[in-house]
Structure formats: structure tokens, C-alpha cells
Amino acid sequence: MIPVAASAAERPSSRQPVMPNAAIDQLLHDYQGDVPGASLLVLQDGVPLVARGMGKSDLETGTAAGPQTNYRLASVSKQFTAAAILLLLQDGKLTLDDPARRWLPLLPPETGAITLRHLLTHTSGLIDYEDLMVEPYTGQIHDAGVLALLAQEHRLYFAPGTAYRYSNSAYALLSLIVERASGMDYPGFLQARIFQPLGMTHTLAFVDGAAAVPQRAFGYSWADGHWQRTDQSSTSAVLGDGGIYSNIDDLAKWDAALYDDRLLTSASRALAFGPHAEVTGEGYQARYGFGWRMTGDTQWHSGETIGFRNVIVRWPARHLSVVLLTNRNDSEPYKTALAIGALFQQP
């Protein structure tokens, strides 16, 4: 059962909206049929108004996508890495102003001014690890491999704290810091401290050869006139920046937990959703918190990796959330999620 985010007394409105099913179907037309599909969740006051799949999660077997289909979240994973750091902050195991080198002494001296706060807000200046990988890269790089690459890199894009540049490198390092500070491996910490307490029973940080992903969606890309399976790349095994699999049923539970103290304190939630850094170079106006972007009255984050494109958008003042998960490289779902959200905000 999906937990309710707010009591009736706290809800901004108890009016049941008219279901705009035809408009939703039109917006999601391209995901329907024998094509890589999508799962859509619309939550109002913690109640799932829409929770359904369309299209296929696996073209080879013809498996339909549904509410329990698990997608690789890509960068939507970053909010869980940030939450793990905040939990350790609550535990007194670390501070946001700890130098990254305190926890990862392999980092070179040039990174000495980088703090955990810089890593969380993409203001560290770290070089993108993808640009340091020798191509073709044999096998898959892991979070520890990212650290090994950065340990040999003496450049920064800018002095820490002076600019913004989206950094997968930073979130790969944060997953390693979670491990150092907690004494647990990153997937185990997420299970013990986030997923199990919230009842997110089908969500995991995926490690090949460990626990299998239940009801797994496989990623596809359109090439040469047809859909081709493109589920993994050389960077797909990095966990901290994008390695979590989840479904809309579990993400409803995650969304509910962001309204109260069951996981993060009010102080931690204020940090997560604080407008710490101005987003630049990404084509839209936003401020970045810890694993979240803020634009107007929304809190949101997208995720993009080979074969998957996802987004979660929250309107917290309205207790409204839209989650759209897809197993294809096209198209970008952020604007679609905004359009779907708008259907539930009609006067």
C-alpha cells in the first residue's frame, strides 16, 4: 500500500480532479504498442491518481511495462546518494564541510579545497571521469575506478565553489564516501537505511552478479530504422551517479517520505531542496540543491543514460508529483511530465 504524504487537515485541497485520460494518452502516444515503453505515476496528496505502464519493457520477450517495472534511474539516482550523505550527517559521522580528501586521501593535492558540499552541488570543479577514460574502454568502470582516474588528474575546471558544472565524478566519489563513513558498502547502506525502512522492496543499486533486478526493463536506442537493445555501456556500473533501479510503486513511497521526518529531518530536507547553486550550461533556469533541481514551484531531477530517460517532478505546495520512467533513448521526458502535471492543476 502506498503511504499517504499528508493528512487531510494538511492537504491543500481535497477536491478530486477530473481524470484527463485522453490528454495523457495523447502526450504518451509514442510509448504505446510494440515499442520501448514507459511507466507513469501521478500522485496527489499521496494518492496515486495514475499508476500505469505502456509499451514494452523487453522487446525480445514482448513483456509489457507496468507499475512494477524496474528502470535504471540514471541521474535520478543522485537524490538517493545525497540522502545517504544527509543520513550520515544526521548520524554525526561526517559534516558537509569535510574536505573530500579526508575520506578519499587518494585524491591529488589540487583537490584539497573540495568539500562534500561542493560535491553535492556540482561546484567542485572536478574533471568529468568520462573524459578521462581511454576508449574503447575494456569492460565497465566502477565508482572505485572513477577515484583511480581522478587520483591521477591534477587539473580542475575551476576553483571549488566558484562555478557550477554538472559532475558525475562528484557523485561517484560521494558513494565511496558513504562507504568510508558508514563502514558498509553503498548498495547495502541504501538497502538498510532507505529502501527497507520505506518499504521500497524492489529498488536496488544494481551490481552485476549480485541481486537480480526484478521485472527489469531493458534499454533501447533507435538506430538504422529500428529499436536496438542498448542496455549497458562502459559507465553503467558506476552507482553513485546513476546506478539505481526502481519502479513507480516504490518511488511513490520515496515521494511520501520527502514530506515528513520518517527518513530525513526537516533540516536535512531543507538542505536537499535548498537553492545552493545556480544551474548553468543546461538550457533551462534552475537552482541545484543536493540531488535536486529547483525551478519555480517545482523540485525535479531528470536522468539519462544509454537506453533510459527518466524524470521526477514535484509541486510540493500542491502535494502533486509526476514520475515518468522510460526505457528508450528518445525523447526527453521532462517537458512531457510538466505537461501532465499541468493537467492536474486546472482551476
Find the CATH number of the domain harbouring 139.
3.40.710.10
pLDDT value at residue 22: 96
Give the residue ranges of DSSP H helices in 61-113: 78-90, 100-103
Under 8 Å between Cβ of 236 and 229? no
pLDDT value at residue 347: 67
Residue 58 lies in a domain: no
Structural domain including 191 reads 21-52+68-343
Residue 230 lies in a domain: yes
Residue 79 lies in a domain: yes
Q: For the whole model, what pTM was predicted? A: 0.94
Residue 172 lies in a domain: yes
Residue 7 lies in a domain: no
Where do the DSSP E strands lie in 127-283?
Answer: 204-205, 220-223, 226-229, 244-246, 277-278
pLDDT value at residue 102: 98
- Domain total in the chain: 1
Please give the share of the chain, as a percent, with pLDDT higher than 90: 91
Residue 1 lies in a domain: no
Mark the ranges of the chain whose per-residue pLDDT is less than 70: 1-18, 347
pLDDT value at residue 15: 52
* CA dist list (Å): 263 to 14, 91, 123, 258: 26, 12, 26, 8
Q: What is the grid cell recorded at 237?
A: 556500473
